[in-house]
Amino acid sequence: MIEGIIEQAEERMMGSLESLNTAFAGVRTGRANAMVLDKIRVDYYGVPTPINQMAGVKSPDAHMLVIEPWDKSVLRAIEHAILESDLGVTPSNDGSVIRLPFPALTEERRRDLVKQCKTYAEEARVSVRSARRDANTAIEKAVKNDSLPEDDQRRGEAEVQKLTDKYIAEVDAALKKKEAEVMEI
């Protein structure tokens, strides 16, 4: 009974960490990364479509992405979607491919990105703590309703706290790594 509650809590905590890593992948560092395009949708025959499903995305060097659509008629739509996004990069269209030059980040922009990363990390921590709270409540109810010994409750809550500490430490480590990556020149 209590083991199942602990397993569910761990799954939620793991999901929080995965969500954090996905959010971090979308944060632009000084290097060109195709994952910054993941959130951008292009109207392709009436269907909002991710760029990576309608074009090849290559990174010839650290500061450039090249988008080569399989259907050349959609070049303008991709360019428009990139301009409308909050990517902060101006695409250049040569008729067959779109080039996205990523300028080096200014110190101020790096600090803003670090703040954004800290916000993502705090959201992940809150999510992990929420999973802990829900698990502890479920354990309390299980002890009360199924007349389990209070020792089981204490052991279960201690186990949940260990998991919480583990996942909070992983969130902090991921934030530290991403912060170093963003601040690296």
Tell me the CATH number at 82.
Answer: 3.30.1360.40
Find the domain containing 21 and state its range: 2-26+106-183
Q: Domain tally for the chain?
A: 2
Range from 30-34, 77-81, 107-111, 165-169 carrying the lowest mean pLDDT: 30-34
Residues 127, 142: one domain?
Answer: yes
Task: Look at residue 168 in the predicted model and tell me its pLDDT.
Answer: 96
Instruction: Specify whether 96 is located in the same domain as 121.
Output: no
∠ CA(102), CA(48), CA(34), 5° rounding?
Answer: 25
pTM: 0.72
Question: Same structural domain for residues 19 and 45?
Answer: no
- d(CA 33, CA 105) in angstroms, rounded, equals 14
Q: What is the pLDDT, as a whole number, of residue 163? A: 94
Same-domain check for residues 92 and 114 = no
